[in-house]
Structure 1
Amino acid sequence: MNIRTLGEIAGASVEEITLTGPGGLSARILTFGARLATLHVPDSTGQLADIIVGHDRLEDWAACTTFAGATCGRYSNRIGQGRFVLDGRVIDLTRNEGANQLHGGPQGFDRKVWRISAASDHAVTLAHTSPDGDMGYPGQLEVRVTYRFDSEGVFCIVMEAETTAPTVVNMVNHAYFNMAGHGSVMAQHLRIAGAHYTAVDDALIPTGEVISVAGGPFDFRTLRPIGQSLPGPMGFDHNFCLSEPLQSFAGEMLRPAAEAVDPVSGRRIAIWTSNPGVQFYSGGYLDESLPGKGGQPIGQFGGFALETQFFPDSPNKPQFPSARLDPGQRYRHVMALDLAPVTS
């Protein structure tokens, strides 16, 4: 196990933890935002490369407004008008995207320095206490995120929470992936195990309508280039409703969510989740002003996110799967990454 101090953010010491897995797999985790900073995976020849888009310097992570690599919450994605009703009470949230709240608000989990509660060569658990009223949410929330490699080389992210009062919770990992390591992801191939997606308005808030992907730009049911058909100049930022049932994978009950492949190198990830949806964001708002790793700017479409989740705005959409958490219950969200490369 390797832990080193990178510096301070807002007077709190930020640690970096390096995890190792079989076959040379490795990951670096930052306590700032409980974020995934690097993930080195093999191509079809065994050559390792980092597939996580991010930064080299702590000051760039601190200035990050793209949520890169972070654990986001309490409620990730968007809540329309920054409010919802819970047990007859209007819950007003701190807004940070016009009239709406995005990824838990301006001081969400991504802006906090988490504490290390357990660590080994292959796993680390980070913890954070979110007080009652934090960003408008009721109940004190005790949250944990565990990153771990298993013996088969699967990389698991386990997000857990308990509350002191009824609330809503939707924690996600917001890593940006680039299966080639850098450059545009438009020629990389993607499959999403979802036959429907949730329609959105101009502010990206779900309308409540669930639409078939068949025959249009949202149809990723088989592997195809990300850039083959875009719904607009900024690409995708949409929730897909996962179609497959839960099944046993990596010691958990999970469902297939997505698969991404670099056809040049054969580098690949297959994502499984315990949650009902996945947000595919193709990185249309990333740009050249963002400093990437190795001194290279990130650029538009320089990475894509696959955030396994409850659906956006579900507290205001009773027809969507519920994100409610009550005292005595445990929120548990698992996102597992199969890192085995394509073999010919």
Structure 2
Amino acid sequence: MSIHFFGRLPDGTTISEIRLSNAAGATASILTFGAALRDLVVPVEGAAPRRVVLGFETLDGYLENNRYLGVTAGRHASRIDRGRLVIDGVEHQLSLNDAGVHLHGGVVGFSRKPWRIVESDESSVTLGLVSPDGDDGYPGELDVRCTYRLLGPGTLSVTMTATTDAATIVNLAHHSYFTLLPGESLRQHSLKVDAVGYTPFGSDLVPTGEIADVAGTPYDFRASRPVANPFGDPDFFYDCAFVIDRAGHEDGKGLVRAARLEAPDGSLAMEVHTTEPCLIVYDGAGLEPGWPPTGGITHVAHAGMCFEPMRYPDNPNQPAFPSAVLRPGEIYRQVTEYRFL
């Protein structure tokens, strides 16, 4: 593990990059800005180690970063309709940053804040953040931790925890864009999502409140198939929450596989295992070139794919969805492993 200067915010705050490694040759670079994963390189059997996430070479890219590359999204990831939040009969107006919608924590959110290093060793780092009462409209002071850990030979583990001093909502998500063949479109990669249901949405991508069967829809990835729309629509893109199948799991809360992505040439695959009930899959349709990218991997449409484990989107406004309210004395915790095989 080593810590390096990465840049300075306009207010003078220093942003550091923490570089992790393990005995198998995997390496990861994490920023104290947005608790972002800037780089991840994993071993590949019979080939050179491979870069598997998109990122930026300089802090400038992360100061804009309107596609949330690599960041920790929160206090509530995904969308909340009209920024409306009611807890115990009290209404709170959250900041709006996406055409009348509260997205990924709002105007600032956790992805645009400096975090601090809490502890670290050769293969892991824990970052911390205190979100004050009223932050982007949320009630309660929230104390958050995000731990990145490299496990052998090629697994990245992400653990997030939070506690609060007043009732609030918490729904964090890791937001890296993954690529198994850098520089190539993900549309020809094979994807399997271990889900029988998904959350339909309107034109604003806000869920309708239903949980629909994937059968007969473009969202049916129960059997592995190419990411591209199976009905031939070239403009179709994926940005949807899947409800993970937890049938047969003893307590319903442990790690289960949510998805598997495989490169067309079979050289590398990634599995997502998580404790969370939902997985948002976004195929990177909105990516476009901008600031210099990590490793020269140009950020064109579909160059990377997000797998965002989280609780249900817009759950404060959808009575059928489980609540994401966190109260004093409780601990929010999610664990996700991105396993490269």
Task: Quickly name the TM-score band, shorter chain normalised.
Answer: over 0.9
Q: Give the direction of change, closer, same or farther, for the CA distance of 1:324–1:246 in structure 2 (3 Å limit).
A: farther
Computed over aligned residues only, the root mean square deviation of the Cα atoms, in angstroms, reads 1.8
Structure 1 residue 331 and structure 2 residue 332: aligned? Answer: yes
Instruction: Report the residue type matching 1:334 in the other structure.
Output: V
Deviations 1:54-95 (A, max 9, x none): 111221222211110000100000000111211001111011
Residues 247 and 254 of structure 1 are in contact (CA less than 8 Å); yes or no, is this contact kept in structure 2? no
Q: Quick one: which of 233, 236, 240 aligns to 1:238? A: 240
Paired residues, what number? 337
Structure 1 residue 16 and structure 2 residue 17: aligned? Answer: yes
Partner of 1:315: 316
Alpha-carbon separation, structure 1, partners of 2:266 and 2:19: 25
Residues 274 and 335 of structure 2 are in contact (CA less than 8 Å); yes or no, is this contact kept in structure 1? yes
1:290 is displaced (CA, Å) by 5.7
Partner of 1:91: 92
1:334 is displaced (CA, Å) by 0.7
SS in 1 for 2:63: helix
The 5-angstrom pairing of residues 1-344 of structure 1 reads 1-10=1-10, 11-151=12-152, 153-229=154-230, 233-245=235-247, 253-289=254-290, 291-340=292-341
Deviations 1:248-291 (A, max 9, x none): 9xxx9211111111122521111111110000001111123464
Instruction: Report the residue type matching 2:135 in the other structure.
Output: D
Residues 182 and 303 of structure 2 are in contact (CA less than 8 Å); yes or no, is this contact kept in structure 1? no
Deviations 1:232-256 (A, max 9, x none): 71501000000124859xxx92111
SS in 2 for 1:53: coil
Unaligned ranges ≥5, structure 2: none
1:318 is displaced (CA, Å) by 2.1
SS in 2 for 1:47: strand
Residues 143 and 159 of structure 1 are in contact (CA less than 8 Å); yes or no, is this contact kept in structure 2? yes
Alpha-carbon separation, structure 2, partners of 1:101 and 1:221: 31
1:115 is displaced (CA, Å) by 0.3
Alpha-carbon separation, structure 1, partners of 2:242 and 2:183: 25
Residues 246 and 255 of structure 1 are in contact (CA less than 8 Å); yes or no, is this contact kept in structure 2? no
Alpha-carbon separation, structure 2, partners of 1:227 and 1:290: 27
Residues 158 and 332 of structure 1 are in contact (CA less than 8 Å); yes or no, is this contact kept in structure 2? yes
Residues 245 and 255 of structure 1 are in contact (CA less than 8 Å); yes or no, is this contact kept in structure 2? no
Instruction: Report the residue type matching 1:33 in the other structure.
Output: G
SS in 2 for 1:322: coil
SS in 1 for 2:211: strand
Residues 33 and 111 of structure 1 are in contact (CA less than 8 Å); yes or no, is this contact kept in structure 2? yes
1:209 is displaced (CA, Å) by 1.3
Alpha-carbon separation, structure 1, partners of 2:315 and 2:59: 34
SS in 2 for 1:129: strand
Residues 42 and 154 of structure 2 are in contact (CA less than 8 Å); yes or no, is this contact kept in structure 1? no
Q: State the percentage of identical aligned residues.
A: 36
So what's the TM-score if we normalise by structure 2?
Answer: 0.94
Residues 44 and 265 of structure 1 are in contact (CA less than 8 Å); yes or no, is this contact kept in structure 2? no
SS in 1 for 2:203: coil
Alpha-carbon separation, structure 2, partners of 1:223 and 1:142: 39
Q: Give the direction of change, closer, same or farther, for the CA distance of 1:194–1:290 in structure 2 (3 Å limit).
A: farther
Unaligned ranges ≥5, structure 1: none
Residues 69 and 176 of structure 2 are in contact (CA less than 8 Å); yes or no, is this contact kept in structure 1? yes
Alpha-carbon separation, structure 2, partners of 1:144 and 1:137: 18
Deviates more, 1:276-285 or 1:206-215: 206-215
Residues 255 and 273 of structure 2 are in contact (CA less than 8 Å); yes or no, is this contact kept in structure 1? yes
1:317 is displaced (CA, Å) by 1.2
Q: Give the direction of change, closer, same or farther, for the CA distance of 1:61–1:240 in structure 2 (3 Å limit).
A: same
Alpha-carbon separation, structure 2, partners of 1:70 and 1:229: 30
Alpha-carbon separation, structure 1, partners of 2:197 and 2:291: 33
Alpha-carbon separation, structure 2, partners of 1:202 and 1:9: 36
Q: Give the direction of change, closer, same or farther, for the CA distance of 1:164–1:102 in structure 2 (3 Å limit).
A: same
